[in-house]
Amino acid sequence: MTPDEMAALLERITAHNPRLHPLFSLEFGDAVVGVERAELFATAADLRDAGFDRLGMVTAVDRDEVFVLVYRLHSRSLSAAIFLKTLVPRDDAWVASLVELWPAALWQEREVFDLFGIHFEGHPDLRRILLPDDFVGHPLRKDYDDPRLIRRPDYI
Amino acid sequence: MALVDRISGALDSGPGGVILTSVDALINWARGQSLWAFPMGTACCAMELIAASFSKFDFDRMGTFPRPDPRHTDVMILAGTITEKMRPAVRRLYEQMPDPKWVVAMGNCTVSGGIFYYDTYSVVRGADEFLPVDVYVAGCPPRPESLQDAIIQLRRLVAEESIAPGRRHEQTTTLPRPKAGGDR
């Protein structure tokens, strides 16, 4: 997809959906759209009905006061892919689960829960997936600390 | 009753002699020449472990043969990073191996944690935290030749063992090893 085609796609997606905000028109050659947390599920359902039939990835970024949740959506019919992003406050870290829309979210959301401690409301089986079940804490949070950690000295 | 068991009983009646040494040599020779390996491949070192078994490096000619069942094997080759989540599984597989059994730590991750030594929340810093490792192979990953050399070194350890409790046959070795009771 050329940048022009991508811009046209982004225009078409956001024009009919007042909930979507184009965050950056083009990032790495891909469209990025943002949405309020409360409207994530409805928006994602709209996008799926608009042709984005595949959820490629769910991840999160720790930006200190907020987490940025990142969804990668693919469309076979449009031959397109976009990023869908939403902000989650750190002290109130929950978001609606998208398992009902894309079953692929089942394990992806468990991984984000495991490593970031973000709760997915409506997830049928929200358990740790990568770390041991008795693990304490969420290690990809920037404020994570563990007495077992050996800090790397400066000279290495 | 197995040959080894009968010899053990005879040894209780008196001190060992020429026969004892010969039997140890025979048994250790047999054990050392067919160290079947349990390929505990947990990460990328497993690729080199697999390569060591195939035709170019041909582990078979040294009597080392990978078996998928721990109950058939003599030596566990730990190839790859061991995570905290994997630790109980590795321990359990080790306990399923019949005695006598040995452990080779292949690669920096199983030696010390390797590149995951610092700032890790999920990696075991060296397999010797929970397993009795006999031979360490450094490398990231080690070449198949290094692993085959580890088996040759392990044969020296096997040759030191005795069926008599407390007795060992000291071997000359190039491995740096602490001597019991200091220099002699």
> Which domains are assigned to chain A?
3-121 (3.30.460.80)
H or E element at residue B25: helix B18-33
Interface contact flag, B85 A132, Cβ < 8 Å: yes
To the nearest whole Å, the CA of A113 is away from the closest chain B CA by 16
| CATH number corresponding to B33-160 | 3.40.50.12280
Q: By C-alpha distance, which of B165, B159, B168, B170 is closest to B11?
A: B165
Q: Is the ipTM of this complex over 0.95?
A: no
Are A37 and A31 in contact, with CB atoms under 8 Å apart? no
**What's chain B's average pLDDT?**
82
pLDDT of residue B154: 87
Interface contact flag, B85 A156, Cβ < 8 Å: no
CA distance A125 to B98: 39
To the nearest whole Å, the CA of B113 is away from the closest chain A CA by 11
Q: What is the mean pLDDT of residues B91-109?
A: 92
Are B90 and B84 in contact, with CB atoms under 8 Å apart? no
CA distance A115 to A140: 5
| CA closest to A146 among chain B residues | B121
CB contacts < 8 A, A to B, total: 27
**Single-letter amino acid, residue A92:** D
Q: Tens digits of per-residue pLDDT, A69-85?
A: 999 999 888 888 888 88
Residue ranges per structural domain of chain B:
33-160
B90, B115, B116, B120, best to mutate vs chain A, most A CBs in 10 Å: B120
Across the interface, of A139, A152, A156, the residue whose CB is closest to B121 is: A139
- Chain A residues with CB under 8 Å of a chain B CB are 130-132, 135, 137, 139, 144, 146, 148-152, 156
CA distance A94 to A96: 7
State the pTM of this model: 0.76
- Measured between beta carbons, the chain B residues lying within 8 angstroms of A152 are 118-119
Interface contact flag, B118 A152, Cβ < 8 Å: yes
Are B102 and B158 in contact, with CB atoms under 8 Å apart? yes
| pLDDT > 70 fraction of chain B, expressed in percent and rounded | 80
CA distance A145 to A137: 8
pLDDT of residue A34: 84
Residue B32 pLDDT grade (very low, low, confident, very high; cuts 50, 70, 90): confident
Are A114 and A137 in contact, with CB atoms under 8 Å apart? no
